[in-house]
Amino acid sequence: MRIFTFCTIETGQFFSSGHTNNWAVLVCTSRFWFNYRHVANTLSVYRSVKRLGIPDSHIVLMLADDMACNYRNPKPATVFSHKNMELNVYGDDVEVDYRGYEVTVENFLRVLTGRLPPSTPRSKRLLSDDRSNILIYLTGHGGNGFLKFQDSEEISNMELADAFEQMWQKRRYNELLFIIDTCQGASMYERFYSPNLMALASSQVGEDSLSHQPDLAIGVHLMDKYTFYLLEFLEEVHPASQANMNDLFKVCPQSQCVSTPGHRTDLFQRNPGSVLITDFFGSVRKVEITKDTINLTSSLKPLIQSGDMQIESLTYVDQLPVAEIIHQKPKQKDWHPPDGFILGLWTLILLVFFQTYGIKHLKHIF
């Protein structure tokens, strides 16, 4: 009887774990040959994610330009991440789902929210459910509050936050890890307000993310610094490793990256120290070997473990803290001298006055 109860507890634990499947959405938003490094960034994360177990059917890879077959590539069909051609991240097993001009803001948001036309093939859909852990990786050129897509449009941090909220309301994810490698990347996760989101960025607002090494034979920069060190870190991770998110936060400190990487965990329910890297980057199947029979009747209740997982009481971050805004005292603004517009306006008024009434009044004033 005791053994049975013990098994019940363990099976309860087994069926109460957080996620059951993993998805990855990897997006490179820049085109043109001199943005080779963004494609290499995305492909190196793709490579790690695939190596750790997520299959192509669960990866949505969006590359805005084709570097491997670009006319200027002296080594066609390759994309290198390390100079001297050490590592070809293009390999021979790459499945690009959105390519070239298909990588647009609209398509990206439709993939996230699932609002795709019925004719869209499965490989282009994010078919996640409420037990999916999703990894989202974005790279390209960005600024304070926006990310540039294809040199012609941009996505703002507010749009991204709203897209994640839509995903939450439709229960399209269990937990979501958002990594962004652009200039001023931290501005992109500032506006998130949905639960179970963890975010990492390569640089703070006001800082630029820098590129890593050029390769003289190819003639371009191969990778960005943050993703280069991220790749090095991920190369050490294997499916059974117990490395957790705190190690990921330590990747590329300022001494290596020059910019200061940032992260955001306040919306995340679990303690980052207990979140394994493979929870997001890999697709680890839980296997427990037992010699006992297990009764799978409905009497099995999922165990609530305190401190780890809260299922019912979810909190939302207040998107528009109106109460705070109303009751706040107005900030003491520093006095600035009147700017040019006001000065010009007053000069104009004075001139018109004196023009109408004559210059002689000027003598009285000065």
Partner 1 sequence: MGLLSDPNRRKALTGLLTRLNTPICIVCYLAGIVWFMGLAFEPFTLRTYMSENAMGSTMVEERFSSGERALSLAKEFDAHKRKAGGMPVEWLVKAMQSRGLEVFTQSFSRKLPFPDENKERYMVRGTNVYGILRAPRAPRTEALVITAPCSPGNTNNQAVALLLALAQYFRNQIYWAKDIIFLVNEHDLIGTQAWLEGYHHTNITEYISGSLRGRAGSIQAALSLELSSDVITSLDLVLEGLNGQLPNLDLANLFYAFCQKLGVLCTIQGKLQRNDWDTAEGYTHAAQTMMLMVLKQACGRSWGDHGLFLRYHIEAASVRGINSFRHYKTDATTIGRLLEGMVRKLNNLLERLHQSYFFYLLPSLSRFVSIGYYMPAFGLLAVILLLRALDLWVHLGAPALAAVDGVTEAEQPSSPGVLTVLTPVVISHLTGVALYLLPVHLQEMAVEHFPVSETEAVVLTAIAIYTAGLALPHNTQRLLSGEGTEQGWKVLKLTALLYLAVLLGCTALINFSLGFILAVTLVPITASITPALYAVVMVLLSPAFTILYCVFIYQELIEAPVSVSEGWMLFLSVISQGILDHALYGSLVYPLLALFIYPCWLMFWNILFWN
- Kindly list the residues in this chain that would bind partner 1 in the complex (CB under 8 A): 32-34, 69-74, 76, 214, 216-217, 219-220, 355, 358-359
Give the nearer residue to partner 1 in terms of CB position, either 55 or 219.
219
Angle between helices 105-113 and 157-169 (to 10 degrees): 20
Nearest to 248 by CA among 204, 281, 206, 222: 281
What is the smallest separation between the CB atom of 356 and partner 1, expressed in angstroms?
9
Question: How many of the other CB atoms lie within 10 Å of CB of 178?
Answer: 23
Are residues 139 and 180 in contact, defined by beta-carbon separation less than 8 angstroms?
Answer: yes
Task: Please give the Cα distance from 66 to 77 (Å, whole number).
Answer: 10
Question: How many of the other CB atoms lie within 10 Å of CB of 271?
Answer: 13
What is the smallest separation between the CB atom of 349 and partner 1, expressed in angstroms?
17
Helix %, strand %, coil % of the chain (to 5): 35, 15, 50
Nearest to 317 by CA among 232, 223, 193: 193
What is the smallest separation between the CB atom of 316 and partner 1, expressed in angstroms?
42
Name the DSSP class of 177: E
Tell me the three state secondary structure of residue 342.
helix
Tell me the three state secondary structure of residue 233.
helix
Nearest to 260 by CA among 184, 199, 179, 157: 184
Give the nearer residue to partner 1 in terms of CB position, either 25 or 64.
64
CA–CA–CA angle 59, 65, 70 (5° rounding): 125
Give the nearer residue to partner 1 in terms of CB position, either 70 or 256.
70
What is the smallest separation between the CB atom of 75 and partner 1, expressed in angstroms?
9
Point out which residues pair with 132 in neighbouring strands: 21
Active site residues: 141, 183
What is the smallest separation between the CB atom of 339 and partner 1, expressed in angstroms?
24
Find the radius of gyration of the CA atoms of the chain: 26
What is the smallest separation between the CB atom of 217 and partner 1, expressed in angstroms?
5
Give the nearer residue to partner 1 in terms of CB position, either 296 or 359.
359
Give the nearer residue to partner 1 in terms of CB position, either 4 or 32.
32
Give the nearer residue to partner 1 in terms of CB position, either 316 or 357.
357
